[in-house]
Amino acid sequence: MDPVISKIWVAYALLWTWKLAITNVVVTATPQVPCYFIFGDSLVDNGNNNAITSLAKANYLPYGIDFPGGRPTGRFCNGKTTTDIIAQLLGFNDFIHPYANASDQDLLRGVNFASAAAGIRDETGQQLGGRISMNGQVRNYQAAVNRVVNILGDQNTAADHLSKCIYSVGMGSNDYLNNYFMPLYYSSSRQYTPQQWADVLIQQYSQQLRSLYNYGARKVVVIGVGQIGCSPNELAQNSPNGQTCVERINSANRMFNDRLISLVDDFNNNQQGAKFIYINAYGIFEDMLKNPSANGFRVTNRGCCGVGRNNGQITCLPLQTPCPNRKEYIFWDAFHPTEAANVIIARRSYSASSPSDAHPIDISKLAQL
């Protein structure tokens, strides 16, 4: 071959190789599911409470200090929440948007309905002002589904689309933290034993989850309540030494979680096409507290920012300077985990590292169904 022609062919081949390399960098993988809907409280609220008249807000620094761009978004964390990280693990190339300002395109890929201070019970969290209870989140979802039907053209197409989505539901924490164990504001602990309260909550929660099922939810991740008795807030108020977890609270949380596992089994056994799973947030958190150094943690009983004993009296103050070594803290403030802790919870929820992390399967396997 003529040396000049040979050089042209080499240059041509190099050009195409370069183009293919650039293409591979730009093209992003398709998410494992077409959409991800999120329901919950301040653990996963990503801005729905920003425009609500409420004390339960986090749209100010230092919240968001480690979030991309170093800005507050309304997330009750220094960085990403568990559902932010799960969305990334599912292959989404952007975070799921809050319902409060969702576009039609957002609805097709899923939105976040979570609201800080929200509970299964409508009255839960009322001392903090406005919030969107689980009933309110269900109503917002139903309105969203009607919009999805209009966007896609008919109910069958919408139902097929929604059946492939993953739904994440994490409620119940505030029904203990901002209801049952707040006797000065609520009478529930005088009306019900812990066992009765768990039954009352599960009965109502079951109806709410059934409403989601009736509006197309099939792949549902039900997240258990964590160890509320180990939060800096409860340690500050009820622990004699500021280190020992409050067992009467954790015991009540376990009662709720035990019933939640049964609820998941009931849906799977009795609702056609239901694929519900339970995430053992309590157990995952317990592992982090028992073996902190294994995950790089050094401080387990106080918030990275906050006020008072254990930094647990209230949440972070506006513009407060937080601890510099945030990856060594399990708790960000009086109630909420750091991004470092959320990463571990999210990864073990997505891909169980212990058989007890998820029941009957983890999120990665649910996405494949």
- What is the 3 state secondary structure string of the chain? CCHHHHHHHHHHHHHHHHHHHHHHHHCCCCCCCCCEEEEECCCCCCCCCCCCCECCCCCCCCCCCCCCCCCCCCCCCCCCCHHHHHHHHCCCCCCCEEHHHCCHHHHHHCEECCCCCCCCCCCCCHHHECCCCHHHHHHHHHHHHHHHHHHHCCHHHHHHHHHCCEEEEECCHHHHHHHHCCCCCCCHHHHCCHHHHHHHHHHHHHHHHHHHHHCCCCEEEEECCCCHHHCHHHHHHHCCCCCCCCHHHHHHHHHHHHHHHHHHHHHHHHCCCCEEEEECHHHHHHHHHHCHHHHCCCEEEEECCCECHHHCCECCCCCCCCCCCHHHEEECCCCCECHHHHHHHHHHHHCCCCCCCEECCCHHHHHHC
Pair of tokens at residue 113 = 């309905």
CA distance 95 to 58: 18
For the question of residue 42 being annotated catalytic, the response is: yes
Cα dist. 142→35, 138, 276 in Å?
16, 6, 19
Angle between helices 155-163 and 134-152 (to 10 degrees): 120
Q: Which of 336, 357, 359, 362 is the catalytic position?
A: 336
Q: Which of 42, 115, 173, 231 is the catalytic position?
A: 42
For the question of residue 336 being annotated catalytic, the response is: yes
Q: Which of 41, 66, 333, 357 is the catalytic position?
A: 333
CA distance 216 to 34: 14
Q: With contact defined as beta carbons under 8 Å apart, do 251 and 258 qualify?
A: no
**Catalytic center residues:** 42, 333, 336
